[in-house]
A and B are shown apart, each in its own frame.
Chain A
């Protein structure tokens, strides 16, 4: 751990001492999420979403393992085994709805977590590896969610698998053989379903493993904070337990309430009705759309419509992969040494344009390929790439950031430094010229 004042683990009983000298697991936990991990004291509620993502990963794994006990990965039986879960398995409807809506919530909290990182510059040195491990988790989540959606073998499952694996055939020469190799056939069939089930069971555990790396990398420099100013003294931090366990705990309750409302009262509102029709390779649905969390990428894919040197489809596929891969280079594209968007007036504006842009991409992704949605998706896709590849590097060159507070505790404890200064020195000891915005003063 980076901070010298991190409290070392002290075994409290003979048994704990006995364990500690043999398998110091309690020591590891204490240092990772216990009293031994000092965290900046000024974190706002956007810092709760990492823990929430962990909670939803756990919900997915637990419900998924039980569902797998009842699910049957066969092209003739999968759909009916899912319906058997819904009708005849005790609380089966709960397990399945929790799993399906849990995936949506996993993405919601992960997206908020990612945008928090984008706004507060959490990807910047020395946290580049934290950011990149996070992106690896995100890619694995997308693969897992896609394969999970195929498992019920409904109409959207089947045609989604057809469309997504079709991306690979866009690549010249290797494309078609690659697609056939991935599917284990020329079209989605038993071979594809079996391997998707196998991988859908495997990948969550890979996600859990990469999450360990993500947290490990985080604990080297420690958590960032809304001011983006480095932790300097012990005054700047609080031990994770009990302070942040308490904060994460009650806020998890709030999010679980929202989750329960969706799960118990509107469980099908985020799904597509067509997926309650058994897969039929002979009947193509009128509109093939992916789940909501893929809509922005689907819009990027479809925005390229002209064969310019290479076919339009290949442009779309390249752009779709590029839209995520470019995030790996973000720490080097944004060179501003100021982390937090609160102190970056120009960056802040473009950040909110990006948020609106991605929402617009999402809307374009679910609409049919018609004007004006095509033109809108093209403008929004152009902005997406321009934002990361052109605008961010330029901003970091020309922007004049606002003055930063001297330390975290100064930004939080307001006047106390001045109050406690020696007589006659009142307030002259480095007061921030601009008070931290209210969000940072949590």
Chain B
């Protein structure tokens, strides 16, 4: 009975699925399928050889400092970094005094309350403060940016497919929209206040190209500030901002692996040792064993031998 009911239910589901499939396929072949512009033109970010990518990877401190400089001079005007505190910059190799100086000279001040009047005011940032947001609220941010909202960058290297590689590809991917593209896909024509970028999900991004020319930032360490170099540096810095404990994670990983491998080898050897006795020689075999004696008695009885 249960198998009959089950069979009927099974046939029911299979039938509905068959109908669904026929209907969907008929729909699919019934209409024309022009390739969508996103499908045709969207590009996956190319891999950048970052120093932190591999399991033994570490951040390049000089690169992080350069990236921070790019963030400070190019990105910070519009993009916040509200999960990172100034004190965290010590990870980049700055000493306490330098961090203090960076915080107090930060262009955007930290909201505060006037201790005498209770009126809202601002003050210079301290190392303990997180990076202050460039806009007081979302409405102000949109009003200043043609109704687009510049996202906070604290986690940008983790919340986009491709992570730091995507950030680098996006920063270097701005281009003139190819004329043939406009002819083929008139609907993706880059509108007023938008910029064509094949790495961006819908191809047209509201952010103007932030890094436009070589030498836009002057590096103190003498690295040539090409567009590509600045983009790489700021991508590396943003990876640090998103995952500040990456290096200790890698270190802890190796320590854990070494411990586990040694423990597993010892475990395996003791397993072999314990099972050595069990594989074959676990029981006494021979004619005196109860089993064999019974068989022997049965055989004797069968052949009529007394005993």
A-side residues, CB < 8 A to B, are 41, 80, 83, 86-87, 93-94, 97, 235, 238, 242-243, 246-247, 249-250, 253-254, 256-257, 260-261, 263-265, 267-268, 273-277, 286, 303-306, 308, 312, 315, 319, 322, 326, 329, 332-333, 335, 371, 374-375, 378-379, 381-382, 385-386, 388-390, 393, 413, 416, 419-422, 424-425, 429
Q: Whole-angstrom distance between the alpha carbons of A416 and B283 in the complex?
A: 10
Asked whether A390 and B11 contact (CB < 8 A) given A87-B83, A250-B267, A333-B3, the answer is yes
When each residue 254-292 of chain B gets 1 if its CB lies under 8 Å from chain A and 0 otherwise, what string results? 101100110110011011001100101011011101011
Contact, CB under 8 Å: B257 / A260:
yes
Cβ-defined contact, B280 with A416, below 8 A = yes
A308 with B16: CB separation less than 8 A: yes
A371 CA / B22 CA spacing, docked (Å): 12
Q: Which of B13, B285, B289 contacts A385 (CB 8 A)?
A: B13
CB-CB nearest in chain A for B289: A420
Q: Which of B55, B154, B295 has the most CB of A within 10 A?
A: B295
Q: Which of B110-118, B230-238, B242-250 contacts A (4 or more CB under 8 A)?
A: B242-250
- Chain B residues in the interface with A (C-beta under 8 A): 2-3, 6-7, 9-11, 13-14, 16-21, 23-25, 28, 55, 83, 88, 154-155, 158-161, 163, 201, 242, 244-245, 249-250, 252-254, 256-257, 260-261, 263-264, 267-268, 270-271, 274-275, 278, 280, 282-283, 285-287, 289, 291-292, 295-296, 299
By Cβ-Cβ distance, the 8 closest A-B pairs, closest first, are A264-B253, A389-B10, A253-B264, A250-B267, A276-B159, A422-B296, A420-B285, A265-B55
Cα–Cα distance between A247 and B270 once the two chains are bound (Å): 9
* CB contacts between A and B, total, < 8 Å: 179
Instruction: Check B299 against A425 for contact (C-beta < 8 Å).
Output: yes
Known: A246-B275, A326-B6. A381 touches B17 (CB 8 A): yes
Contacts of A382 in B (CB 8 A): 13-14, 17-18
Residues of chain A lying within 8 A (CB to CB) of residue B17? 303-304, 378-379, 381-382
Taking a contact as CB atoms closer than 8 A, the residue among B249, B261, B296, B299 that contacts A257 in the complex is: B261
Residue pair B13, A422 in contact (C-beta under 8 Å)? no
B249 close to A93 (CB less than 8 A) = yes
**What is the predominant secondary structure among interface residues of chain B facing chain A?**
helix
Tell me if A303 and B244 are in contact (CB < 8 A).
no
Does A243 contact B274, Cβ atoms closer than 8 Å? Answer: yes
Minimal beta-carbon separation of A321 from chain B (angstroms):
12
CB atoms of A250 and B160 under 8 A apart: no
CB pair A264 B249 closer than 8 Å: yes
A250 lies within 8 A of B271 (CB)? yes
- Cβ of B278: which chain A residues have Cβ within 8 Å of it? 41, 238, 243
Listed A/B pairs (5) with beta-carbon separation below 8 Å: A249-B267, A261-B253, A333-B6, A375-B25, A421-B295
How far in angstroms is the closest Cβ of chain A from B302?
10
In the assembly, what is the distance between CA of A99 and CA of B39, in Å?
36
Q: In the assembled complex, which residues on chain A have CB atoms less than 8 Å from the CB atom of B253?
A: 260-261, 263-265
- Give every chain B residue within 8 A of A416 (Cβ-Cβ): 280, 285
Q: How far is the CA of A235 from the CA of B6 in the complex (A)?
A: 41
* Distance of B57 from chain A, by nearest CB (Å): 9
| A422 touching B299 in the complex, CB below 8 Å, given contacts A86-B245, A238-B278, A378-B24 | yes
